[in-house]
Amino acid sequence: MKLKPLSNKLFLEPIEEEMTTESGIVIPETAEKERPQKGKVLAVGPGRLNEKGERIPMSVREGDMVLFKKYGPDEIEIDKKKYLVADEDDVLAVILEK
């Protein structure tokens, strides 16, 4: 599947992680309420236009792992798999490799 988001939109693949407590209890991410979510950027739009009509480049790239607002992105389903479409402003941080 190939697609190109418009303006400052991002196409994300959500990554759900499970947490394990010290006693070994697994807590799925859906049990957490107000924490940001993590995802992989699959496609990036060209960036938004400023008042002068100049393109402002995006600060994230395809392949980046990002943290984003839980309720910011829109969820869509393609071929029975869930994806997210988000504005660049919904991204809180890019996860850097250790």
Domain interval for residue 34:
9-95
Q: For residue 75, tell me if it sits in a domain.
A: yes
Distance CA 5, CA 43 (A): 7
Q: For residue 2, tell me if it sits in a domain.
A: no
Distance CA 25, CA 39 (A): 24
> With pLDDT > 90 as the criterion, what percentage of the chain qualifies?
60
Q: For residue 1, tell me if it sits in a domain.
A: no
Please give the tally of structural domains in the chain.
Answer: 1
Q: Could you tell me which of 92, 93, 88, 84 has the C-alpha nearest to residue 58?
A: 88
Rounded to an integer, the average pLDDT of 11-30 is: 72
Q: For residue 14, tell me if it sits in a domain.
A: yes
Q: For residue 3, tell me if it sits in a domain.
A: no
Distance CA 82, CA 89 (A): 21
Record the pTM: 0.78
Q: What is the DSSP letter of 30?
A: G
Rounded to an integer, the average pLDDT of 70-79 is: 89
Checking if the pLDDT of 34 tops 60, the result is no
Q: What is the CATH number of the domain that holds 71?
A: 2.30.33.40
pLDDT at 35: 53
